[in-house]
Chains A and B, each alone.
Chain A
Amino acid sequence: MNPHSDHPADCALHRRAKGLPLPAALLLATLTGPLSAANYQMHVQLDVPSRTITGTQTITWTNRTSRPAGELRFHTYYNAWKTKNSSFLNSNRMQTRDFEDWHEDEWAAIELELLVVPARDGSVEYDLTTFLEYVQPNDGNSDDETVLRVPLPEPVEPGESLRILTEFEARVPRTFARTGFRGDYFFLAQWFPKLGVLEEEGWNCPQFIQTEFYAEFGDYDVSLTVPSGWVVGATGTLQDREDHPGGTTTHRYVQQNVHDFAWTTSPHFSEFEEEFTHERLRPVRMRLLLMNDHLGQRDRYFAATRAALRYYGEWFGEYPYDHVTIVDPAYQSRSGGMEYPTLFTGGTRWLQPDGSGDPEGVTIHEFGHQIWYGVVANDEFEHAWLDEGINSYATRRVKLEVYGRDKYVERYLDGFIPHLFPDIEISERTASGLGDTDSEFEWDTMSTPSWLYGPAPMRGVEADPNRNRVYGGGAYGFNSYTKPALMLLTLERYLGWDTFQKVLSTYFDRWKFRHPKPQDFFQVAGEVSEQDLDWFWEQTYHGSITFDYAVDGVVERGESGQRVVLRRWGEGLFPMEARVEFEKGPPVLETWDGQSRWKAFDYFPEDDRVMAVYLDPEGKLALDVNRTNNSWVREAPSELAGHKWASKWMIWLQNMMQLVTFFG
């Protein structure tokens, strides 16, 4: 290697500087690449005491664009926790996170110690290690080292493949963004140098600013060496296991056609397996890795996974693999509720009453990602809602189908002791992440790239005035999960379930393994429903307006009859129906295009009177921010309701006051 050269072409070597034995065949560039764009063969070893992963990679990458590629770009995600100045730790979502108690050796880092590519004719190989350069394509933050640029000595032509060999070392963080360790539990995601996606416009390899990802499909063949006796769960299926002297064991996992590889290991997992079968869907072997404090919830995990496999398969798209691994994350490991190809993490508590929503909800949701994130695989970094939003909507539907509504739960004694209120159900609009709506619509538009969603108060998190940190990731959460889920629920009720189900299944079928964009989803929705839905997307996707229709009142006008007045308080427009019920006569269903600010209906029954008006009686407009004002009932038991709930509150207050007297 010429250390003075500033061009990688000048560093061609006949032997690599580090002398790693590398079969020449491995380095041969091939002009006929695999169907997948990025295939990884990795050998890695986890050293538990130092919490370090060392590994080698052989990546076979194919340029699937129409332009030559003069460089490569790698994600080096672990560097997001290398310094407090990284873009991730300075993102809005992290403003409420405290690192004061982090030890020096609990921060992470990943370093490419060697990167070698062969010349096109295979005659030489280039050690590009010294040419590696961190770049910051998104925010220019020079302290951020999560994207690595590798200039190539020779361009890779369209359709041509390139083999890349690397050696890397990653220091595992105390669990962060669902990757890391806690005690002797390791959950390892975003842990290896990973290629970005080369598109026609150039490399799409964003910095690690949020926990949404995008990558090429490929085949993974990964050998994981861990202490003997430790249980391993990983993307793919176990091919073989080999014990070594010195107390280590290598587990080899292989998986075709996925876009990431995650794994976990701990001596504390208990392993269980069950089979999912269905008359029309492919059988799936479900492997559950359960922590000891959750052994009693084994059946609940399996039942929820089975329900998800069935209903996602019947309604949206068939899970294309024959296995799935469910990982029950360790207590406070911060690795729960996340999806990776053929593997996902659930999440529960030691005491988790039936009907409380989890682990069923999180299991269905994270499995659901296998369909959207895993198979459809849009660019989540830019359009998180296309995965998270659709999946939140789908989770809600499956969950209601199988389990009904969640019951209200309060937790006491630092959250360890739950109390389930069996008479109180959580709103179906809020099931599985379809949460508060209030004025959150105005924080940002859904069409904003997800990583640029504006700051907003994080729900349930108090700002710490001493740290001048007011904002969390509210706009990201609302626009990625809640709003799109409500948007899709509205669309389902507008188009009808049969049509909307076909929209989603067509979208899945047409775009699986193809990285669609929002416009592709909109196109499918319009095509399948045979309707121009631009007016809907314009308001919901591109806009940041609220929807609020109301029954303003019923006016008694003597001989002039009765007038029902409907209002549109919000800016959003949606066609409305109103059911008007009379004391004696049959009910009337009125329609209103919802365009004007108000609409009045007059009735002249001789000896009858309006008893109730229900605007949007079927609740089609799930986006409506105020459903309380959607009805008018002449004899509504509001006084009784007030007495009932105020009297309960009063007992709460009396008890609270009485507790204060304890200190006297």
Chain B
Amino acid sequence: MRTILRSISAGWRRLWSHKRFLFWLYFANLALALIPAFLVFSAIQESVDHSQMAEGLRQGFSDEWHREFRAEAGGFAETFTPAVTGIGAVLDGLDAWLSGKIFNQYAPILGLGVLLLLMWTFATGGVLNCYLGREHREPFWASCGRYFGPLVRLLLLAALFYLVAYRLLLPWVDQAVQTVNRQNIDERVAFAWVLAKYSLVLVYIFLVNLLFDYAKIVCVAEARRSALSSALAAVRLILRRPIAVIGLYAVLGVIGVFLIAAYALVAPGALQDTYLEIALAFLAGQLFIVSRVFMRLYYFASQSELYMLLAGAEAES
């Protein structure tokens, strides 16, 4: 536990000593979302134009308008639903992520996500280089470029594992749960099985995620070019100190869940009717997105610290 706390605490310091990463990666997210958001804005504005429905949308939401809008909307605008309101935006995303529906999103949205993923992959080399305390050896941008290739290969390798999760494991478990529930007439029992199904899938996904987090760290820390060797080294690392590695992952996960719960408490609904209120609601949402970026970096920083602790201990022994 002490190792975990030390990693978290040192990770926190690392994170804040390189807080520019947080802003860069947040702004990358923001920048990618701006143009689609403008297109949706234009579609909504054009749809309501001089209609009194505009007043309805200002005061709250108009389901009647939305049904008409949805029938004619195209492009990004066709993905607009009232489910984007407040915590709904987060729940919708989490549900899509967990169930694999995220890969069935409107293609340009998935494309933007992949683009952001590549931007992250590019930045990860530089970020980890700094978190590992090696920025004096190699400047940020240089390490971004240097490790981009190996990290993309790791990304592709990880994709295979995620493919197994969503295309094999989840459908298989889903079928099993359906079979078990075939004669069940109590929804609570069915829900327990569904929880079990997603728990199993989550455990798998988290283990893969954990493995490839350390594979990335190993890749940068040990300047490995091979994705496979990085992954195998990460496996060995995890197997040597599974409690510390998984414990750290879990503690950070709890912090992430706490942040989502906190946003759920303050997430604005549909009733903002002035620009100030709209701006404040937007700000709250952006803070949540910042917290998402923050948590990802916090994982990198803390896991890098843990890697260094474990590597140091190994060297001493």
Please give the residue numbers on chain A whose beta carbons come within 8 Å of chain B beta carbons, in ascending order: 101, 182-185, 266, 268, 291-293, 330-333, 349-350, 408, 410, 412-414, 416, 419, 421-427, 429-430, 436-438, 553, 612, 614, 625-634, 636-664
Closest Cβ of chain B to A651, distance in Å, is 4
In-complex Cβ contact of A653 among B33, B278, B286 (8 A): B33
Partner of B194, one of A293, A414, A625: A414
Secondary structure class of chain B's binding surface, majority of residues: helix
Judged by a CB distance under 8 angstroms, whether B96 is at the interface is yes
User: How would residues 108 to 144 of chain B score, 1 for a CB under 8 Å from any chain A CB and 0 otherwise?
Assistant: 0110111011001100100000000000000000000
- Cβ-defined contact, B289 with A662, below 8 A: no
Q: Could you tell me the distance between the alpha carbons of A604 and B105 in the complex, rounded to whole angstroms?
A: 53
Q: How far is the CA of A175 from the CA of B50 in the complex (A)?
A: 51
Scoring B29, B34, B36, B61 by chain A CB atoms within 10 A of each residue's CB, the highest score goes to: B61
Closest to B70 in A: A436
Q: In the complex, A662 Cα to B113 Cα: how many Å?
A: 10
B186 touches A649 (CB 8 A): no
Q: B185 near A657 (CB under 8 angstroms)?
A: no
Q: Which residue of B lies closest to A635 (CB)?
A: B50
Residues of B within 8 A of A627 (CB): 53, 64-65, 68
A413–B293 CB distance below 8 A: no
A663 with B159: CB separation less than 8 A = yes
Given contacts A424-B85, A636-B48, A652-B89, A331 and B63 within 8 Å (CB-CB): no
Is A663's CB under 8 angstroms from B51's CB?
Answer: no
Chain B residue at minimum C-beta to C-beta distance from A415:
B194
A183 nearest in chain B by CB position: B183
A583 to B278, CA, bound (A): 28
Q: Which residues of B contact A268 (CB under 8 A)?
A: 185-186
Q: CB of B83 within 8 A of chain A?
A: yes
B residues sitting closer than 8 Å to A (CB atoms) are 29-30, 32-34, 36-38, 40-42, 44-45, 47-55, 57-58, 60-65, 67-69, 71, 76, 79-80, 82-99, 102, 105, 109-110, 112-114, 116-117, 120-121, 124, 155, 158-159, 162, 178, 181-188, 190-191, 194-195, 198, 209, 269-273, 275, 278, 281-282, 285-286, 288-289, 292-293, 296
A423 touches B84 (CB 8 A): no
- The CA-CA distance from A160 to B99 in the complex, in Å, is 64
A634 and B55 CA atoms in complex are apart in Å by 12
Q: SS class of chain A's interface: helix, strand, loop or mixed?
A: mixed
Query: Contact: B185 with A660, CB < 8 Å?
Result: no
Kindly identify which residue among A185, A330, A419, A661 contacts B87, using a CB–CB cutoff of 8 Å: A419
A641 to B120, CA, bound (A): 33
Given A332-B187, A630-B51, A644-B57; 18 other pairs, CB 8 A cutoff: A183-B184, A293-B188, A410-B83, A416-B187, A424-B61, A427-B64, A627-B68, A628-B47, A628-B68, A642-B41, A644-B272, A646-B44, A650-B34, A651-B285, A653-B36, A655-B89, A658-B289, A659-B94
B185 and A291: CB pair below 8 A? Answer: yes
The answer, among B60, B96, B186, for a CB contact under 8 Å with A424, is: B60
Question: In whole angstroms, how far apart are the Cα atoms of A652 and B44 in the complex?
Answer: 16
Q: A654-B29, A660-B113 are in contact. Are A649 and B80 (CB under 8 A)?
A: yes
Contacts of B159 in A (CB 8 A): 663
Contacts of A626 in B (CB 8 A): 68
Q: List 28 A-B contacts (CB under 8 A).
A: A182-B185, A350-B188, A408-B83, A414-B194, A419-B88, A421-B88, A423-B60, A424-B60, A427-B62, A633-B51, A633-B54, A636-B50, A636-B55, A640-B58, A641-B57, A642-B41, A645-B44, A645-B57, A648-B84, A650-B37, A651-B89, A654-B289, A655-B90, A655-B93, A656-B93, A657-B32, A662-B296, A663-B162
In whole angstroms, how far apart are the Cα atoms of A437 and B70 in the complex?
12
Task: Give the residues in chain A near B86, CB-CB below 8 Å.
Answer: 421, 648
> In the complex, A429→B62 CA distance in Å?
12
Say yes or no: B85 contacts A423, CB within 8 Å. yes
Contact A652–B45 (Cβ < 8 Å): no
A427 to B69, CA, bound (A): 14
User: Which one of B32, B60, B191 lies within 8 Å of A350 (CB-CB)?
Assistant: B191
Contacts of A659 in B (CB 8 A): 93-94, 96-97, 102, 113
Q: Which of A101, A331, A437 has the most CB of B within 10 A?
A: A331
In the complex, A422→B99 CA distance in Å? Answer: 26
Q: Which residues of chain A are within 8 angstroms of B64 by Cβ–Cβ distance?
A: 427, 429-430, 627-628
A652 to B93, Cβ gap below 8 A? yes
- The one of A427, A642, A656 in contact with B42, judged by C-beta atoms closer than 8 angstroms, is A642
Q: A412 to B91, Cβ gap below 8 A?
A: yes
Q: Which 9 A-B pairs have the closest CB atoms?
A: A660-B113, A642-B45, A646-B41, A651-B285, A641-B57, A330-B185, A650-B37, A652-B89, A423-B270
The docked-state distance in angstroms from the alpha carbon of A625 to that of B52 is 16
Q: How far is the CB of B189 from chain A (nearest CB, A)?
A: 8
| Closest-CB distance, A650 to chain B (whole angstroms) | 4
Closest A residue to B268 using CB positions: A648
Of B54, B86, B184, most buried by chain A (CB within 10 Å of CB) is B54
Q: Which of A436, A651, A661 contacts B84 (CB 8 A)?
A: A651
Q: How far is the CA of A183 from the CA of B185 in the complex (A)?
A: 7
Cβ–Cβ contact A653 & B112, under 8 A: yes
Given contacts A648-B85, A649-B37, contact A664 B185 (CB under 8 A): no
Which chain B residues lie closer than 8 Å to A330 at the CB level? 185-186
Q: Determine the residue in chain B with the shortest Cβ distance to A182.
A: B185
Contacts of A662 in B (CB 8 A): 97, 209, 296
Question: How distant is A438 from chain B, measured CB to nearest CB, in Å?
Answer: 5
CA of A414 to CA of B275, assembled, Å: 37
Given contacts A332-B190, A408-B82, A659-B113, contact A631 B63 (CB under 8 A): no
Set of chain A residues within 8 Å of B270, measured between Cβ atoms:
421, 423-424
CB-based nearest A residue for B191: A416
A653:B186 contact, CB within 8 angstroms? no
Contact A655 B60 (CB under 8 A): no
**B contact residues around A642 at 8 Å (CB):** 41-42, 44-45, 48
Tell whether, in the assembled complex, residue A656 and residue B281 are in contact, meaning their CB atoms are under 8 Å apart.
no
Bound CA–CA A626/B52 (angstroms): 13
Per the bound structure, the CA–CA distance linking A634 and B288 in Å amounts to: 37
A184 to B91, CA, bound (A): 36
A424–B63 contact, CB under 8 A?
Answer: yes
Contacts of B187 in A (CB 8 A): 293, 331-332, 349-350, 416
Is the beta-carbon distance between A638 and B116 smaller than 8 angstroms? no
Q: A293-B187, A633-B54, A651-B288 are in contact. Are A657 and B116 (CB under 8 A)?
A: yes
Q: Are A660 and B110 in contact (CB under 8 A)?
A: yes
A422 touches B71 (CB 8 A): no
Inside 8 A of A349's CB, which chain B residues have their CB?
187
Q: A430-B67, A660-B116 are in contact. Are A331 and B48 (CB under 8 A)?
A: no
Do B113 and A656 touch (CB < 8 A)? yes
Q: How far is the CB of A439 from chain B (nearest CB, A)?
A: 8
Tell me the minimal C-beta distance from B13 to chain A in angstroms.
Answer: 24
The residues of A that contact B195 with a CB separation of less than 8 Å are 413
Per the bound structure, the CA–CA distance linking A625 and B72 in Å amounts to 12
Q: Nearest chain A CB to B106's CB is how many angstroms away? A: 10
Q: B residues within 8 A CB of A332?
A: 181, 184-185, 187, 190
State whether A633 touches B112 (Cβ < 8 A).
Answer: no
- Chain A residues contacting B83 (CB-CB under 8 Å) are 408, 410, 421, 652
A304 to B286, CA, bound (A): 42
Instruction: Count chain A CB atoms within 10 A of each CB in B121, B183, B187 and give the residue with the most.
Output: B187
Contact A427 B67 (CB under 8 A): yes
The answer to whether A422 touches B269 (Cβ under 8 A) is yes
Report yes or no: B184 in contact with A628, Cβ–Cβ below 8 A: no
B37: which of A291, A426, A436, A653 is its contact (CB, 8 Å)?
A653
A359 to nearest B CB, angstroms? 13
Known: A640-B58, A657-B32, A660-B117. A648 touches B285 (CB 8 A): yes
Determine whether the beta carbon of A628 is less than 8 Å from that of B48: yes
Measured in the bound complex, the distance between the Cα atoms of B48 and A279 in whole Å is: 49
Q: Shortest CB–CB separation between residue A445 and chain B, in angstroms?
A: 21
Given contacts A656-B102, A663-B162, contact A643 B269 (CB under 8 A): no
Contact A658 B293 (CB under 8 A): yes
Shortest distance between the CB of A185 and any CB in chain B (Å)? 5
Q: B185 to A614, Cβ gap below 8 A?
A: no
